[in-house]
Amino acid sequence: MNKKNKELYIIAKRLNVENKELSKQVFDDAEKATLINPSNRVFIQMNTNDKRGSVFLGEDLRMSSKVAAFTIPEENITIEKGYNSLNENIEIATANELVSIINNGYEGRIVGKTGINIIISITESHEKKVKKDKAQYEQLELNLVNNNVLTEDELKERKQVLKANGIEESNPIYTEILSLIRKQNINVVKPKKVYVMSSERKEEESVLKRVLRNITLGDPVILEGAKGTGKNVCWETVAWLLNRPMEVLNCSAKMTKADMFGSPTTDNTAKEKVTLKGAKALFKALLMKKDDADAAEFLYATAGCMSPAIKLEQGPVTRALLSAEEKGTILIADELNLSDPNTFSGVFNALTDKHTKEYNINGIGVVPIPDDLIIGGTQNGTGGAYIGTKQQNDATMSRFNIIRINAPESIMPVLNNNNYDVSYDVLKTLDRIYISFAKAKKQGTVSEQALNVRGFERTVQHIMSGQSIIEAVKECVIYSCKASEEGLLITTALDQIKED
């Protein structure tokens, strides 16, 4: 069976059915049943030895009812054509192979009739698919360890983070994620903070899971959200999970192509070879009128200092393009909607256009755009509290998928994730203050600046150094908000502290 085919359609001629009238009625009923209820399926079980088969109707083979039996002698059946998922005609199995296919864990589903012909769709049974997927990811895990890509402990750590974000081994993208992990000379270091989905939003898919799905599908993706919502932490976690280096382009309104690709600079490495040892060698060679290697190197280095070479000091985009094929580099455009739309689109349109295979970099020449280059970005919401954000080119943004990250309902998962040496009661008080600020934001009495998660993280460190909760909250969170909101925020925070 062609592995690339998700589904094969088989036209079986001249079925020798034990009860032709009954079976005809069964096939008619089955066709109607699948039209009325798409979850109804026709299962065909066959015995390899005598090629006898049974037809079952139901949503699940274990819960289905046997509705007919038939035999398929090899001489009484011919197989015409099958169609793969791309609808391309292909020659397929003999009748005997058809029996073997169904007997070895594939389901037959009647999808139509043409005259005396029955059209059967052959797909993997759920049980067979689960077993195959399990064998596949177990082999990939084994390869990662045996090929010294990851140690067993490194693999275990990554699996724990994936599970915490809703990606179990049985998830379809788990195998794809394993196949994206790259071997490096020095493995990517685990970030101090890893992205973990909020416990209050277990009914939602984790942002990390959604990012990884986009990557497995080859789609560039942007994380959009307020400051402190974990956009950069998420990308750092992705880089670590996939064991790939990350190049970050820090975007701004004044960003130029030189910031992206690099700028020419003088190569002053020659002066390192202008040494006292070389000078003495040259003096001795002139005195003795004899060639000397050290003297020659000294003269060459001296000439280089007088006319230093020009080289390109590579920028993050250049480094990513040149290293992606070998290392699988991830290129992140950080705060991309701060950049000038024309500058950004002039480069990233080409990088994200899957038809463009190369890019011409001044000072280097034409370089390929590797298929393995992962491109992502971060941005704050346009307008509002974020001054300087710019609407980007529509054609450029159409190349990216966007995942919006809402401010967390609670910051306890974030605070717990940092393993602070402070009492649980202190963390709970800060969480209550944050939740009360979020409620005020919802009511429209304060701005989004009050939900400064990074500020609350700094607050914990200030408290650990001996500062009071209210003073730490003022310094790290409240005083960065609008002056008109400070009074309300201080009163709200004090109310939560008094509850202790």
Distance CA 235, CA 333 (A): 11
Q: pLDDT category, 109, cuts 50, 70, 90?
A: low
pLDDT of residue 10: 41
pLDDT of residue 264: 72
Mean pLDDT, rounded, of the chain: 77
Q: Is the pLDDT of residue 274 over 80?
A: no
Q: Is the pLDDT of residue 90 over 60?
A: no
Highest mean pLDDT of the ranges 26-40, 61-75, 429-443: 429-443
How confident is the model over 381-420, as pLDDT tens digits?
Answer: 765 555 667 888 898 999 999 999 888 888 888 888 777 8
Q: How far is CA 286 from CA 293, 297, 305, in A?
A: 13, 14, 21
Share of the chain above pLDDT 70, in %: 66
Contact 205, 166 (CB under 8 A): yes
Distance CA 174, CA 323 (A): 25
Q: Is the pLDDT of residue 481 over 70?
A: yes
How confident is the model over 356-367, as pLDDT tens digits?
Answer: 888 998 878 899
Contact 226, 407 (CB under 8 A): yes
Distance CA 134, CA 162 (A): 16
Contact 140, 172 (CB under 8 A): no
Q: pTM higher than 0.75 for the full model?
A: no
> Position of tokens 């203050």?
433
pLDDT of residue 6: 37
